[in-house]
Each structure stands twice: as C-alpha cells, then as structure tokens.
Amino acid sequence: MIGSIVKNVRWRMTAVAAIVVLPLVALACSAPGGGGGGGIAPVPRPDPTSTLDRAESLITNPVDSAFTVGFSMRCGGSVAGNSFSFNQDATATVDAPQTVLNGEHFSVWVTPGDWTVPASVPTQVGTQTIASVGSFILTLPLSPHVQFVDAVMTSGIPADQGYPQLQVINGQLWYTLDGPMAGGATITLPRVRIDLIAQGNDFDEIDYGMAFMKVTARVPNNLGGNTAVGVLCRPTTSQPFNETFIVPPQP
C-alpha cells in the first residue's frame, strides 16, 4: 500500500446505493484549427479526470487523509395529504486510504457532522411544527469492490436518544437511532469505523458516500396529540464523499 489516506474535492455523497465508477480510460482529442489545409492529426490524450490518471497521481503525489464535505439534502413528506419539502444542509468527514492492494484489509472512518432537527417546515397550507423525530436511519452504500468485515461506533454516543446501531441490509450499512430528538435540537452522531477487504481489478475505484436519510417526524394535530409522518432525505448530488483506488503491487 502506498501512502496513507485521502482526499479529492469531488463532492461525495452517493445517492441510493449509487457507487460512482468513472471510466477506466477516457481519451479526448482536439482538432487543430487551420485555414484550408490538412492540418496535423489530433493526438489522443488521457483525460486528466479519468480513474486511471487520478489513481496514478495518488500513487506518486500523496494527499492529505481527512476529507470533509458539505452537501445539501432534499427532504420531503406529507401531512394530512399536504406535501412538504425542504433542503437540509449537512457535513461529513471520511478518512480512507488513498490506495490499497487487492485483498488488503483496511479501515475507513466516517464522522457525520452535527445535524439540526427542523423546528418547522413549510407545507402547502402553511408552516408545520415538528415536535420531534425518531426512527432515524442513515444509509451508507458499500462498494461492489469491497468485502464488508465489521463496523464499530467509536465515540460520541448521544444521551437520552436511544442507542445507535449498525447493520448491513441489501449492500448498505444502516446507521440507526431510535430517538426521540426534539425539533430544533442539534444532534451529534458517533464516529464509525468500517473495516473492509478490497476485492477488484487494478485501478478499480472504491467510493464512499450516503444513500439516504429517513426519520419519523411527530407533528401536532387538532386532537391535542402528535401524528407520525415519514420524512425522506436524499443528497442533491451523486458525487461520492471520498474514494480509494485498488492499485498493483509496486516493485
């Protein structure tokens, strides 16, 4: 393995189970201008953003390990037939090796940024108060180029909000928290270490991101109680948070 750990400012948050794999080699040609003559034949050149080029660059030019991304999620649901939607800003930090060998056992550290529960959201018939949310689910897709080994929460267990749990469901790591979490409260989620084994071909790309977030919101009703409402949030971009490349052994 060459170098320690990553980063690359291509924003990263994979949408539902979306693992972004760029073309292995993309060639770009530029036709020279010239008046009336045959000109010089264009020379194909590797695309500087291709997977192969970026992987080779990481081997020869190690970069900083921790990569923090800011992103926006589009959230929505329906209360008594009245739909609502809103944007939710978030951050996440992902530390991962920049390169690994095929079959290598390695760890990725994911630190969700603080998340603020909305106190209210706009609907078709006016502002809707959010009393609390629970049944929090955050999903992290697992790349097809890894074998999952284990996942462990390492710090920052929230108090009085239930105990966070991790489980793998349909190729995704599900991060759950029962709650309740009051509307307007800021939640700090535990850091997670994900242990993986690389499995793929040379220069395959292992991406890390988020698929979706889901909560059950409690909203006040006319009967003096609260109504449970499902809220689903998806990232507004499919770019991954971070990536690791599988590389051949170095001489």
Q: Which domains does the chain have, with CATH numbers?
A: 41-247 (2.60.40.2270)
Q: Which of 55-64, 115-124, 188-197 has the lowest mean pLDDT?
A: 55-64
Q: What is the pTM of this model?
A: 0.70
Highest mean pLDDT among 31-35, 179-183, 185-189: 179-183
Q: Are 216 and 229 in contact (CB under 8 A)?
A: yes
Asked if the model's pLDDT at residue 93 lies above 70, the reply is yes
Q: Using a pLDDT cut of 90, give the percent of the chain over it.
A: 39
pLDDT for res 128:
85
- CB of 134 within 8 A of CB of 179? yes
Residue 30 scores a pLDDT above 70: no
Average pLDDT over residues 57-83: 72
Say if residue 132's pLDDT is above 60: yes
Residue 39 reports pLDDT greater than 60: no
pLDDT on residue 221 = 84
pLDDT at 195 over 90: yes
- Contact partners, residue 175, CB within 8 Å, separation at least 6: 112, 137, 138, 139, 140, 164, 165, 166, 189, 192
Would you state the pLDDT for residue 143?
95
Cis peptide before 220 (omega within 30 of 0): no
Q: Which residues, 6 or more positions from 38, have their beta carbon under 8 angstroms from its beta carbon?
A: none
pLDDT band at 1 (very low <50, low <70, confident <90, very high): very low
Average confidence (pLDDT) over 113-124 = 86
pLDDT score of 162: 74
Report the C-alpha gap between 69 and 236 in whole angstroms. 13
Can you give the pLDDT at residue 155?
66
Closest CA to 26 of 203, 146, 245: 203
Start-to-end C-alpha separation, the chain? 12
Residue 64 or 248, more confident: 248
